[in-house]
Amino acid sequence: MTPEPAERGPIFPDDATFGPLGFTRAQFEADSYLWHRGDDVWCSLMIARTPGRGAFRELLRGLEGAGYRVVVPNPLPLMREILVRWGFVCVAVTLDGDEWARPPAGSRARW
């Protein structure tokens, strides 16, 4: 039996692993945080310093470029609109809320 990957978080901006991928204090407020487990990174609370300037888009590029699957739990209505526009779909609905992720590049699967 394969052990579950360790969970790490909360992870704040300028973390040694995720800062170089775009999760920096220059782009996000200090209260922003991620969670990491295996190949998944949950963008739990993202507060851009200058909303609408592409900080989240650049973080997505960095995370996905490094091979992570980005998951956004319980997005607020504005974030949900952004996620739908960028190809994210709801992948889970639980008592705690919903989770949104983007199918892998080139995938025809509809989650």
> Is residue 1 domain-resident?
no
> Is residue 40 domain-resident?
yes
pLDDT (0 to 100) of residue 108:
45
Whether 3 has a pLDDT exceeding 70, the answer reads no
Whether 104 has a pLDDT exceeding 70, the answer reads no
> Is residue 15 domain-resident?
yes
Please write the tens of the pLDDT for every residue from 67-80.
999 999 999 998 99
Q: CA–CA separation, 38 vs 84, rounded Å?
A: 24
Q: CA–CA separation, 22 vs 17, rounded Å?
A: 10
Please write the tens of the pLDDT for every residue from 22-36.
999 999 999 999 999
Q: Which residues pair with 7 in a beta bridge?
A: 37
Per DSSP, 48 falls in state B
> Is residue 109 domain-resident?
no
What CATH number has the domain bearing residue 59? 3.40.630
Please write the tens of the pLDDT for every residue from 5-64.
667 889 999 999 999 999 999 999 999 999 998 889 999 999 999 988 999 999 999 999
pLDDT (0 to 100) of residue 105:
60
Number of domains in the chain: 1
> Is residue 106 domain-resident?
no
What is the extent of the structural domain holding 28?
7-101
> Is residue 111 domain-resident?
no
Whether 101 has a pLDDT exceeding 70, the answer reads yes
Please check whether residue 100 is in contact with residue 88, taking contact to mean a CB–CB distance below 8 angstroms. yes
